[in-house]
Chain A
Amino acid sequence: MAGIEIEGVTKRFGATTAVRDLSLAIRDREFVTLLGPSGCGKTTLLRLIAGFTAPDAGVIRVGAATLSSPAAVVAPERRGMGMVFQSYALWPHRSVRQNVAFGLEVRKVRRGEIAARVARVLELVGLPGLERRYPAELSGGQQQRVALARSLVVEPGILLLDEPLSNLDAGLRERMRWELKDVQRRTGITFVYVTHDQAEAMTLSDRVAVMHEGALRQYGPPREVYGRPADRTVADFVGRVNLIPGRVVRASGEVGLVAVGGGPPLALALPPGAAEGQAVQVAIRPESFELVGRPDALAPGPDAGLPGKVADVAFLGSALDCYVTLADGSRVRVQAHPAVTLEVGQPVALRFDGRAATVFLS
């Protein structure tokens, strides 16, 4: 199956616009995640792709066929896609076998072949031999796998997943993530995955589409979305980030000097339109900082880092979680090595690679 093309799709519910002029292209065999907070429109977009609602504007194409447009929508039962729901939607009055076999029965597959394919797909999801059980007798993780099996057995070209892991507990969720990724790689089905958990998005996806208030903010591989957030909302949503106020001291094209947090000017890449004297916000991840315990040991200059004082320290086991107050009073969250000893009030310097910082206009 070819990829999915979403062009200029808008969906309104009464006075609210759930999806705003959104365009997105998903390649064949790709694992794409729609990531964003509650209410950003990701589930609506997924349901538009599935065909449960019609767009108010724009088109959705798969390959050469236009599946959705404001005037005409191909019914969900004729799109050849699969869908896994957040609640799994297993039919309680049917056994596992009957649940999984449903799609095959609709397609009038022969009885013998149905049994074989059901057995095969249950093996694939790691539930061999559970055909006779009923959903009420299964654990959450098992139910989720049955739901997955039910969608996979009909060999769809595209599988839509609506937060399928959010009802599981943390440990199980992490395990299932790897299994899902594994299944996707083995079957080569295009996965369109919806979640609000950015760690999940990072782990699973080939590309992440970050959505906010109905619009697409950034679309790219996880490394890019994380390291080069397109705007403040993306930066803030994906991972933890510090947004430190600063001022442009000198601007020359794409690079300039920025005084960050009341510290000495540092050489950073500038966004277009940055002028001298402009107030900006500098985004730096906590783990991008290098905490220097004895700042007086450093030579002055742009590499000396930002001076500050330790405001709070928490031992997390695998790291030290610190809050440092900078010269201008702004608080910065820093991750330090657990072996370092820090005291509240201790003067420190924060060094970082300029490439790890993203500057946004205020």
Chain B
Amino acid sequence: MAVAAASSGPGPSRGGAVRAEGVALAVAALALTVLVVLPLAFLLWGSVSAEGRLTLDHFAEALGSRLYVQALRNSLVLGLWTAALSVAIGVPLAWAVSRTNTPARRFVHLTVIVSYVTPPYLTAIAFVNLLSPNAGLINRFTRDVLGMPALTFDVFSMAGLVLVTVPHAFPFVYLLAASAFESVDASMEESAQILGASPWRTARTVTGPLVAPAILSGALIAFVNAIALFGSQAIVGLPGRVFTLPTRIYALFDYPPQHGLACALSLLFVGITVAALYLQRRYLARRSYGTIGGKGNRPQRVDLGPARWGVLAFGAVVFLVAVVAPYLTLLAVSVSTSWGLAFWENLTLRHYRFVLLEYDVTRRAIGNSLILAGAAATLAMGLGSLVSWIDLRTQHRGRKLLDYASLIPLGLPGIVVAVALIQFWLRVPLPIYGTLLIILLAYTGRYVPLGVRSASAAFHQVDPSLEESARVTGAGWFRTFRAVTLPLARPGLLAGWLLVFVPAIQELSASILLFSSESITLAVAVYNLYETGALEPVAALAIVTMVIITAAVALATRLGRIGARGLSAAGRTPVGP
């Protein structure tokens, strides 16, 4: 019967559907080529060519010079330590929040979220104020007040770098572990229990192995993210002479720029990231255990007894280190006339006045960042929706290729994206370099994978039969999309938009190479100001940055929810057995 309907359906609309799909495919392919494929190709070419000839000199220098090998090693060490600590912090917290009766669980969850949203370079700046070897607040306290100079900690070291990176990285492990803990079917654990296993043994032999793939996955993602953070590595690493790949690559763009070497180093960097991501995929694929099956009972919460206060204390310590310490410090420095003089006698709002009213750059930066983040989120979600819709709902042969192409940026650290774009756009006779547009291209390209994944999750929630029933009653492709698919997928799409907006508005690693005076972003403005050494205005600008980010996210969430709720209520078709 379905066949008859298809052949007797109105001819033009079917042809129109095919044409529309073709256009969608072409647009997506073109966008991905310009955003990702071509710059990457130019990066590859740049790494093996010098003055038009093929050469391996760049790689030889990258792998032969002590400078760069040391940077490679430092990056790996940083990544591994960060991943390890992220697991040590993230897993117990995830377990406590999702599976036990630890009190104030929402507070712990909130700590993780705030930690994630805080730009890592702000954390770095704050900890420099707290832990610089001689003048850091905490060090001064331990040395002068407690009289224990042996306890001072030099933040300008690899240890310090790990310290300021972990707050940003552990939320990845936490979120993945919490999700895994929550999807363990209760019967898995209950069956162990009824066979006589104590709660501890059950956790060790059943729960643990079941969530291990997710935890490892989180650790690898934490690793990949940690090594790409230019800001904290420049702020904490440079004074300690701990050079890492991003800071070395950045230095290569001094005048005269060494493009070839930068490309070669970038490719090595990409190699590490891709290896980590490949491991992550293999782990997940091979031992991905199904989640809730059958009736799917939620497991009971473990009663920790008095030990639950200990767990809460642990969460409180994380809160103190990852949230309270940075923000309080920045706030204190921002209202201090000159940090280093007696604090309470030197309070002022002068720096806020400077940053907000006198320093032109701030206004430009705020405007630029909001526009860029908003536009990038929209474009990334738009392109992501296009790619995932083509993948899920059409049968085009090229769709898998499109999907893979859209995932390439996952393996590209921020600074490498910038290097690739520079290679490409310097050679194309379009004056894009130095404008807002090139930064927009960098952001959009970077976050396309996030867009694809969010859109894919959102579309998965819409049963194809809902769309098919609309098509059968005569609605064309576009009308179906607008009336059925979009309203139902909207909440997921909006969530994805926010997921891109937040990192985009604090992005530094790519912006630092691509900005110009008119296209300066908030993160770059903060970093620039920090470079000038003006501690107090930097802190003021940092607080202003956080206020802007929080306000933007709150506004977007509010708008999104109102829109989503209304539309989804209107668009929901009754689904019955």
| Chain A interface (Cβ < 8 Å from any Cβ of B) | 50, 52, 75-79, 81-83, 85-87, 89, 91-93, 102-103, 106-107, 147, 150-151, 154, 167
Q: Which residues on B sit within 8 Å (CB–CB) of A93?
A: 209-210, 287, 289
Tell me the minimal C-beta distance from A83 to chain B in angstroms: 5
- Other-chain residue from A83, A151, A167 in contact with B190 (beta carbon distance below 8 A): A83
B201 in contact (CB, < 8 A):
yes
Q: Which residues on B sit within 8 Å (CB–CB) of A167?
A: 294
Contact B287 A102 (CB under 8 A): no
CA distance A167 to B295 in the complex (A): 11
Contact B190 A76 (CB under 8 A): yes
| B212 and chain A: residue at smallest CB distance | A93
Tell me the minimal C-beta distance from B92 to chain A in angstroms: 22
- Other-chain residue from B185, B195, B196, B287 in contact with A87 (beta carbon distance below 8 A): B185
CA distance A82 to B210 in the complex (A): 22
Contact B196 A106 (CB under 8 A): yes
Chain B 160-188 residues near chain A, CB threshold 8 A: 185, 187-188
CA distance A85 to B193 in the complex (A): 13
Q: Which residues on A sit within 8 Å (CB–CB) of B300?
A: 52
Q: Which residues on A sit within 8 Å (CB–CB) of B287?
A: 93
Contact A85 B197 (CB under 8 A): no
Tell me the minimal C-beta distance from A228 to chain B in angstroms: 33
Contact A89 B195 (CB under 8 A): no
CA distance A102 to B197 in the complex (A): 9
Contact B188 A77 (CB under 8 A): no
Q: Which residues on A sit within 8 Å (CB–CB) of B295?
A: 86-87
Q: List 5 A-B contacts (CB under 8 A).
A: A82-B195, A91-B188, A92-B210, A151-B194, A154-B195
| A154 and chain B: residue at smallest CB distance | B195
Contact A91 B187 (CB under 8 A): no
Known A87-B187, A89-B185, A92-B289; contact A50-B197, beta-carbon cutoff 8 A: no
Contact B206 A77 (CB under 8 A): no
CA distance A237 to B217 in the complex (A): 50
Tell me the minimal C-beta distance from B258 to chain A in angstroms: 50
- Other-chain residue from A52, A85, A91 in contact with B206 (beta carbon distance below 8 A): A91
Known A86-B294, A167-B294; contact A77-B187, beta-carbon cutoff 8 A: no
Q: Which residues on A sit within 8 Å (CB–CB) of B187?
A: 85-87, 89
| A102 and chain B: residue at smallest CB distance | B195
CA distance A77 to B293 in the complex (A): 23
B191 in contact (CB, < 8 A):
yes
B198 in contact (CB, < 8 A):
yes
Contact A77 B198 (CB under 8 A): yes
Contact A87 B294 (CB under 8 A): yes
In which size bucket is the chain B interface?
20 to 34
- Other-chain residue from B192, B198, B290, B294 in contact with A102 (beta carbon distance below 8 A): B192
Q: Which residues on B sit within 8 Å (CB–CB) of A81?
A: 194
Tell me the minimal C-beta distance from A244 to chain B in angstroms: 31
Q: Which residues on B sit within 8 Å (CB–CB) of A147?
A: 191
Q: Which residues on A sit within 8 Å (CB–CB) of B195?
A: 77, 82, 102-103, 106, 150-151, 154
Tell me the minimal C-beta distance from A99 to chain B in angstroms: 9
CA distance A76 to B199 in the complex (A): 10
Q: Which residues on B sit within 8 Å (CB–CB) of A150?
A: 191, 195
- Other-chain residue from B185, B194, B196, B205 in contact with A50 (beta carbon distance below 8 A): B194
CA distance A147 to B191 in the complex (A): 9
**A-B contact sample (12 more), CB < 8 A, given A86-B294, A106-B197, A106-B201:** A77-B195, A77-B196, A78-B196, A79-B194, A82-B194, A85-B187, A89-B190, A91-B209, A102-B197, A102-B205, A106-B195, A147-B191
Contact A83 B209 (CB under 8 A): no
| A80 and chain B: residue at smallest CB distance | B196
Contact A52 B190 (CB under 8 A): yes
Instruction: Name the residue among A50, A52, A79 with the largest chain B CB count within 10 angstroms.
Output: A52
Instruction: Name the residue among B185, B191, B197, B287 with the largest chain A CB count within 10 angstroms.
Output: B191
Q: Which residues on B sit within 8 Å (CB–CB) of A91?
A: 188, 192, 206, 209-210
Q: Which residues on B sit within 8 Å (CB–CB) of A78?
A: 196
Instruction: Name the residue among A89, A92, A103 with the largest chain B CB count within 10 angstroms.
Output: A89
CA distance A86 to B186 in the complex (A): 12
- Other-chain residue from A75, A79, A83, A92 in contact with B191 (beta carbon distance below 8 A): A83
Task: List the 9 closest A-B pairs by CB distance, nearest first.
Answer: A103-B195, A89-B187, A87-B294, A89-B191, A85-B187, A106-B196, A93-B209, A83-B194, A76-B193
CA distance A89 to B185 in the complex (A): 8
Q: Which residues on A sit within 8 Å (CB–CB) of B290?
A: 92
Tell me the minimal C-beta distance from A330 to chain B in angstroms: 29
CA distance A167 to B294 in the complex (A): 9
Tell me the minimal C-beta distance from A137 to chain B in angstroms: 14
Instruction: Name the residue among B185, B293, B294 with the largest chain A CB count within 10 angstroms.
Output: B294
Tell me the minimal C-beta distance from A74 to chain B in angstroms: 12
Tell me the minimal C-beta distance from A84 to chain B in angstroms: 8
Contact A154 B196 (CB under 8 A): yes
Q: Which residues on A sit within 8 Å (CB–CB) of B198?
A: 77
| A84 and chain B: residue at smallest CB distance | B191
| A85 and chain B: residue at smallest CB distance | B187
| A47 and chain B: residue at smallest CB distance | B190
Q: Which residues on B sit within 8 Å (CB–CB) of A103?
A: 195-196
| A160 and chain B: residue at smallest CB distance | B194
Interface string of B289-309 (1 = CB under 8 A from A): 110011100001000000000
CA distance A93 to B197 in the complex (A): 17
| A147 and chain B: residue at smallest CB distance | B191
Q: Which residues on A sit within 8 Å (CB–CB) of B210?
A: 91-93
Tell me the minimal C-beta distance from A49 to chain B in angstroms: 11
CA distance A197 to B247 in the complex (A): 69
CA distance A81 to B196 in the complex (A): 9
Q: Which residues on B sit within 8 Å (CB–CB) of A87?
A: 185, 187, 293-295
CA distance A79 to B197 in the complex (A): 11
Q: Which residues on A sit within 8 Å (CB–CB) of B185?
A: 87, 89
CA distance A150 to B196 in the complex (A): 12
Interface string of B205-239 (1 = CB under 8 A from A): 11001100000000000000000000000000000
Q: Which residues on A sit within 8 Å (CB–CB) of B196?
A: 77-78, 103, 106-107, 154
Q: Which residues on A sit within 8 Å (CB–CB) of B293?
A: 87
| B201 and chain A: residue at smallest CB distance | A106
Tell me the minimal C-beta distance from A164 to chain B in angstroms: 11
Tell me the minimal C-beta distance from A340 to chain B in angstroms: 37
Contact B201 A76 (CB under 8 A): no
Known A93-B209, A167-B294; contact A85-B289, beta-carbon cutoff 8 A: no
| B206 and chain A: residue at smallest CB distance | A91
CA distance A79 to B196 in the complex (A): 8
Interface string of B550-576 (1 = CB under 8 A from A): 000000000000000000000000000
CA distance A75 to B294 in the complex (A): 25
Tell me the minimal C-beta distance from B569 to chain A in angstroms: 26
CA distance A76 to B289 in the complex (A): 26
CA distance A75 to B194 in the complex (A): 9
Known A87-B295, A89-B185; contact A77-B194, beta-carbon cutoff 8 A: yes
Q: Which residues on B sit within 8 Å (CB–CB) of A85?
A: 187, 190-191
Chain B 259-311 residues near chain A, CB threshold 8 A: 287, 289-290, 293-295, 300
Contact B188 A76 (CB under 8 A): no
CA distance A50 to B193 in the complex (A): 10
CA distance A218 to B416 in the complex (A): 74
| A104 and chain B: residue at smallest CB distance | B195
CA distance A266 to B197 in the complex (A): 62
Tell me the minimal C-beta distance from B124 to chain A in angstroms: 40
Instruction: Name the residue among B187, B195, B198, B293 with the largest chain A CB count within 10 angstroms.
Output: B195
Q: Which residues on B sit within 8 Å (CB–CB) of A75?
A: 193
Tell me the minimal C-beta distance from B342 to chain A in angstroms: 59
Q: Which residues on A sit within 8 Å (CB–CB) of B193?
A: 52, 75-77
Tell me the minimal C-beta distance from B289 to chain A in angstroms: 5
Tell me the minimal C-beta distance from B333 to chain A in angstroms: 51
Q: Which residues on A sit within 8 Å (CB–CB) of B209?
A: 91, 93
Known A81-B194, A106-B201, A154-B196; contact A89-B188, beta-carbon cutoff 8 A: yes
Q: Which residues on A sit within 8 Å (CB–CB) of B191?
A: 83, 85, 89, 147, 150
Interface string of B31-73 (1 = CB under 8 A from A): 0000000000000000000000000000000000000000000
